[in-house]
Structure 1
Amino acid sequence: MPHTKDDLPDALYSAAQVRGLDASLIAAGTSGFELMHRAARATWRALVRHWPAANELTVVAGHGNNAGDGYLVAVLAKRGGWTVRVLAAGDPRQLRGDAASAHAEAVSENVVIEAWSAQSDYRGIVLDALLGTGLAGDVREPYASVIAAINASGLPVVAVDIPSGLCADTGRILGCAVRADLTVTFIGLKLGLFTGDAANVVGERVFNDLHADPRLLEGAPITARRLTAGNLPRLAARRGASHKGQFGHVLLIGGDRGLGGAILLSAQSALRSGAGMVSLATRPEHVPAALARIPEAMALGAASANQLMDLLQKVSVLVVGPGLGQGAWGRSLLSAAANAPLPQVWDADALNLLAEGRVSLPKGCVITPHPGEAARLLGLSTAQVQADRPAAAHALSKKYTAVVVLKGAGSLIACPDGRLAVCHQGHPAMAAAGLGDVLAGLVGALLAQGMDAFDATCLAVWLHANAGERQGKFGRGLAASDLIPAIRQLLEEQAPCLK
């Protein structure tokens, strides 16, 4: 059955896992050619729904089963009265098996099939049936030129299964990739459609299970799960006689000279996300601003780590790093936090100091690196992290025995036990300073209210991304503090304070 937009399955698979599911369907009695027909029908239906006034189709076909899907879509379009051409970038004589049968069916239906050339023109809707999920290594010629021509056409594009050139496992563009407006994918959702470069090339996602027997999917290994409104961890409702002492005391540490705003954003986020009590330890000169902006928080002007010791005995969760700096003041406060036996969230400069080996991370913490910070923590380049974001998230979680948020398009949450969650919501307007500070405070507040580290982090990342999506609708110029009231509203929608 078709699924569109957010009505998608939660389970995400690698390309190899989906090939295994495909093989299971065939072994259970559904021929590969029948599955190809089902994929073509699903693509055709999605295409017509998306562009109901269209009547012309250009299919760009490669040389594998992805091309077979394309030839069969061409047949359906021809039968539907559309003007159809197939531009064959791969030699049809090299097609084998089901793809060859699909080509033969297109020939028998008198579909116009032409060899692709640099002079080929594109009309109507363009169907990308070039490369599929089996691509290994960067796109080579002539396919790189074909992809460039598709992207330069300015026409609407629908991709069969995955935009050609996008890695199904990592979401990395392999040299170049088709920029699709619609991607119709089958049997199992691929992780690479939801993280990394995917946001730039996938467009709207439509999924069809090709009538797979649900029993074949039960117990099948998966790579990750999508975070959706329907599967989020939830905070418990509060009883009528609740009091602040039941919902934790978050201490936020940071705000060196010139960086005071970061810790104030984190503190405000923690307060508005339901922490029972909020304290912050910052440079003494930032205390007046803290009291003016957040009078509900208890502000400590800490000139040295010694002044933290009494407070560390009274709180339940630490958030360390926003605006911390990497000087002597920040290092001393971070060292004190690292020795406290408390749940902790480390962000920003706490992670940079951790990467330098100046301090050890307590076990069971949450760390929230962006790709550059993740690269420093792993001793890699940022490009290497982005080339395989899932692997980087798992490596960080294993190295530091921590729950990890690898931020960015398609944020990943990795747990030391091997679980991986993906949050693909968000908005381009979120490319602004301070949003990570808001996320760190939110994670701290959910930990303080009794959630375990993985659940708290998953819920926080989803709330943060969807708040950004709501506020991003107003356009560029989004300020980090704009997210805080939207997070509060979303949290109440997802987990009402009182039922």
Structure 2
Amino acid sequence: MQRVGGHGSEPLYGLEATRSIERIAASSLPPHTLMARAGLRVAELTRALAPHARRIWIACGPGNNGGDGLVAATHLHRFSRSMGGLDIVVTLCGDSARQPADAAQALQQALAAGVQIQDAPPSSFDFAMDALLGIGGRRPPEGVLAEHLRVLRSSGAPVLSVDLPSGLDAETGVLMRAPGEAAQAPNQRHTLSLLTLKPGLFTADGRDAAGQVWFDDLGAPPCDGVLAQAQLLCGSPRGGAPLRRAHASHKGSYGEVVVIGGQDIAHAGSGMTGAAVLAARAALHGGAGRVYVALLAEAPVETALRWDPICPELMFRSVQALMNTALLQSASVVCGCGGGELVAGILPSVLSQAPTLVLDADALNAIALDSRLQTRLQERRSSGWITVLTPHPLEAARLLGSDTAKVMSDRMAAAQRLSDRFAAICVLKGSGTVISAPGRIPMINASGNAALATAGTGDVLAGMIGSALAIPAGTFEQTVQRVAGAVHQHGSLADRWIQRAGAGHLTASALAEHAC
């Protein structure tokens, strides 16, 4: 058994792949072996997580997920009889006469061991186990099962979910909720994923519903013929590792970043200069040798920002001075951060001149509204140029001609559609950021937390990606790995921030300062 979230990456398997692995593993083992192993692991983790609990409620459903819970209940019941002082309360939803063979056998063993089955949840408990629904739970729970699930979700006591939080889609991370039910806080939640890790645990609603994820493969041999649906990015990949700097190097050795955006307040009274400056600061602290900033304005403005007193190293240029220059063609260009309405006017030139391009925010919105810009974006593939799109769900929906709800219903599929349509690397931001690229298995980033839910952190990410691409990577795969490394580093900064005692509120400025 392992705690998920260390280093490297882990394969993630969807519903059909998990069932195939289960069938293959079960075919080489005596009957009921996988369930016996699963229930034992769940019981062991329960004892480790709740060593001082006095009453443990185990909520079992009508299928094999409930069977795992019943096996765990048998082990915990025997432990309580030998040690004393532990009350095991087991409830079973559904018709026991219709249980699958493994679950029926687990129920017989539980009853034979003296486990008592109750109809209703206890009035109070110190620890609970959610064994109601597993990967097969595709319909909203009803009746008694729904009531048990409501008690589990609203409990302030620690809850351990068996394989998957009940009601969570194993592939998309969408959680089935009752009408009016609020989003779930991640406090005191654990999930023991059995046999395989599922993508839904790490994106959309999954991270809050699952809490801390644990994994046990139940001793099943590797199944090389079964393809993973995604990769979980738990640490910076090799391509995202910091560049080791040689003594005999100089600022030109580490590439250049150009940030274009930051619409001036003189245009329609809507100023977004800070977004471009945040991206530029992040690129600078991320290690780029030189960083240029080009702010958008309809005409020269007397009050326009000409230098950054926080980062005087940033070099400001007019947009006109940058167009049709070698710098635009050699640098890593980040375009769109705070670009407002004005960014649409310079996008044709940027799309046709910048071989390495990160498109963010208003640049994405402008492309979504203009079929000609979409065509220019698609044409970049014929030149072998690098394009990275960094949408949040609403921006992704606009690019896909869809809506946010559809994007959130399957984040991995939405990211892949964007990658395939525009031949680009897509970074679909949100809880469990998805990194996709044409012809490659998508990645789900495991780092990051709600501290990133502040204005400007997306601009910082765009700058960090621009910095990661300032030096040519060599192969496209290495480029994807660099982008993934920047995404993971961005989340890791927030993780380290909240771990610091008294760290307080995380601003985008503080995030950019630590983007190294």
TM-score, length of structure 2 as denominator length: 0.88
The CA deviation at 1:222 is 0.5
Judge conservation of contact 1:365–1:453 (CA < 8 Å) in 2: no
After TM superposition, the structure 1 stretch with the greater mean CA deviation from structure 2, 44-53 or 283-292, is 283-292
> 5 Å matches for 1:403-442?
403-442=425-464
> 5 Å matches for 1:368-383?
368-383=390-405
SS at match of 2:340: coil
1:61/1:195 CA distance change after superposition, 3 Å: same
Structure-1 separation of matches of 2:322 and 2:127: 66
The CA deviation at 1:289 is 5.0
Structure-1 separation of matches of 2:49 and 2:236: 25
Judge conservation of contact 1:250–1:315 (CA < 8 Å) in 2: no
Tell me which residue corresponds to 2:290. Answer: 277
Judge conservation of contact 1:428–1:472 (CA < 8 Å) in 2: no
Matched, 1:89 2:93: yes
Structure-2 separation of matches of 1:11 and 1:253: 37
Tell me which residue corresponds to 1:319. Answer: 334
Deviations, residues 364-387 of structure 1 (Å, cap 9, x unaligned): 300000011011111111111111
Tell me which residue corresponds to 2:12. Answer: 12
Judge conservation of contact 2:258–2:328 (CA < 8 Å) in 1: no
Judge conservation of contact 1:263–1:322 (CA < 8 Å) in 2: yes
Tell me which residue corresponds to 1:497. Answer: none
Matched, 1:115 2:119: yes
The CA deviation at 1:475 is 5.4
Tell me which residue corresponds to 1:384. Answer: 406
> 5 Å matches for 1:448-459?
448-451=470-473, 452-459=478-485
Which amino acid letter does the alignment assign opposite residue 487 of structure 1? Answer: A
Match of residue 241, structure 1, among 243, 248, 251 = 248
SS at match of 1:365: strand
Structure-2 separation of matches of 1:380 and 1:161: 32
Structure-1 separation of matches of 2:412 and 2:276: 29
SS at match of 1:413: strand
Tell me which residue corresponds to 2:491. Answer: 465
Structure-2 separation of matches of 1:342 and 1:254: 18
Deviations, residues 450-489 of structure 1 (Å, cap 9, x unaligned): 234311210110010001112234455311021123321x
Which amino acid letter does the alignment assign opposite residue 194 of structure 1? Answer: F
> 5 Å matches for 1:54-69?
54-69=53-68
Deviations, residues 155-181 of structure 1 (Å, cap 9, x unaligned): 221111011011110111023598761
Judge conservation of contact 2:202–2:446 (CA < 8 Å) in 1: yes
Structure-1 separation of matches of 2:143 and 2:416: 34
Q: What value does the CA root-mean-square deviation take over the aligned residues?
A: 2.2
Structure 1: where are the runs of 5+ without partners? 489-499
Tell me which residue corresponds to 1:39. Answer: 38
Structure-2 separation of matches of 1:189 and 1:336: 44
Which amino acid letter does the alignment assign opposite residue 498 of structure 2? Answer: G
Structure-2 separation of matches of 1:292 and 1:426: 29
The CA deviation at 1:131 is 0.6
Judge conservation of contact 1:11–1:226 (CA < 8 Å) in 2: yes
Structure-1 separation of matches of 2:21 and 2:78: 31
Structure-1 separation of matches of 2:8 and 2:464: 27
Matched, 1:158 2:160: yes
SS at match of 2:169: coil
Which amino acid letter does the alignment assign opposite residue 275 of structure 1? Answer: A
1:199/1:3 CA distance change after superposition, 3 Å: closer
The CA deviation at 1:5 is 4.7
Which amino acid letter does the alignment assign opposite residue 234 of structure 2? Answer: T
1:313/1:399 CA distance change after superposition, 3 Å: closer
Tell me which residue corresponds to 2:510. Answer: 482
Structure-2 separation of matches of 1:271 and 1:149: 49
Q: Percent identity over the alignment?
A: 34
SS at match of 1:466: helix
Judge conservation of contact 2:74–2:115 (CA < 8 Å) in 1: yes
1:8/1:313 CA distance change after superposition, 3 Å: closer
Tell me which residue corresponds to 1:496. Answer: none
The CA deviation at 1:127 is 1.1
Tell me which residue corresponds to 1:201. Answer: 209
Structure-2 separation of matches of 1:121 and 1:133: 28
TM-score, length of structure 1 as denominator length: 0.91
Structure 2: where are the runs of 5+ without partners? 81-85, 265-270
Matched, 1:264 2:277: yes
Deviations, residues 308-345 of structure 1 (Å, cap 9, x unaligned): 2236556422110001112xx32222221011141100
Structure-2 separation of matches of 1:383 and 1:32: 43
1:313/1:181 CA distance change after superposition, 3 Å: closer
Structure-2 separation of matches of 1:211 and 1:475: 41
The CA deviation at 1:99 is 0.5
SS at match of 1:278: strand
1:250/1:154 CA distance change after superposition, 3 Å: closer
The CA deviation at 1:256 is 0.6
> 5 Å matches for 1:101-112?
101-112=105-116
Tell me which residue corresponds to 2:25. Answer: 25
Structure-2 separation of matches of 1:5 and 1:253: 35
Judge conservation of contact 1:3–1:208 (CA < 8 Å) in 2: no
